[in-house]
Amino acid sequence: METITVALWAANLEPPLNGVSAWAAGIEQKMAEAKADGARLLVAPEYHCQQWLSFAPEGIRPNEEIAWLASQGPEALEAVRPLARKYGLGLLAGTMPVPDGKGAYLNRAHLFLPDGREIRQDKLCLTPAERDPAAWCLETGHEVAVVEWEGLRFATLICLDVELPALAARLAALDLDLILVPSMTSKLSGFHRVFGCARARAIELMTTVCAVGAIGVPERLTRRESNTSAAAAFLPCEEVLGSTGVPAALSPTARTTGAGPMLIASDLPVGLVRSLRRGKAEVWPGAWRADAVTIREERP
């Protein structure tokens, strides 16, 4: 694959739902729109499942939300699993909490491909809000899944994971064509951290990065005022790629209408970026590591 068009859905979490089937119907609607726009992948944001809280039991406490969301997961996955094959494009259905088999929960992304595969990626580094025993308390994942599909090599990094240079250094030698970044950020500062680091990863890994986040919150969720985000695709800053490294982007917002905006990042030049990564870039040094670098401190 030399180019790929990716649909990045900055889902609006405010509209109330009457059940998981309504959530799945919204995803199918976006799959149809993405297909019509020539996309090969649709990416929904981290914790897209948070919208389910609009039909959660009355009086549910913050420390009960993760377990309740996880209980809805099997029905949700069963509903959206056929869509990749039906529409002939990949679906990253956001993230949702899943049991880890040890009495705790993971924040997991599910990627469905038209060939029938289902690839799971757990979040590797959790925010303080995701480690709060009084509210959302999860456990970390421990591996990155590298996916090969139609000539592409790609991976998913969930929100904070893309902010970690130590992880990026591990990825440099993997020859990745694409990194998908589903995210959720409550503040504008968080949006800029995630999206700024996503842009940096495109430069330092000489690859294409697509990031998307959720907007708004369900009316019944009172622990945060909003989610602020948008969607963007990033490339290395090479003259042959247009110099800026930002071929497509939406402006961040905390409020929107309807289902939320969907960015169609058209014809991302993954093949050309691959050739740059393999020796034709202006200055990229390859999968350079700092293992042999020593630190010298000059003290007065």
According to the model, what pLDDT value does residue 225 have?
Answer: 72
Round to whole Å and give the CA distance between 266 and 39: 7
Average pLDDT of 10-38? 97
Rg (CA), the chain: 19
Chain-wide mean pLDDT for the chain? 95
Round to whole Å and give the CA distance between 277 and 279: 6
What tokens appear for 54 in the block? 């609009």
Per-residue pLDDT tens digits for 216-230: 988 766 565 789 999
Per-residue pLDDT tens digits for 255-293: 999 999 999 999 999 999 999 999 889 998 888 888 889
- The single residue listed with the structure tokens 């993954």 is 270
Q: Is 174 helix (H, G, I), strand (E, B) or coil?
A: helix
* Predicted TM-score (pTM) of this structure: 0.96
2 Cβ contact list (under 8 Å, min separation 6): 269, 270, 271, 272
What ranges do the domains of the chain cover? 4-280
Strands 231-234, 208-213: parallel, antiparallel or unpaired by DSSP?
Answer: antiparallel
What tokens appear for 249 in the block? 């982007």
Q: CATH: 3.90.230.10, 3.40.605.10, 3.30.420.40, 3.60.110.10. Which one for 4-280?
A: 3.60.110.10
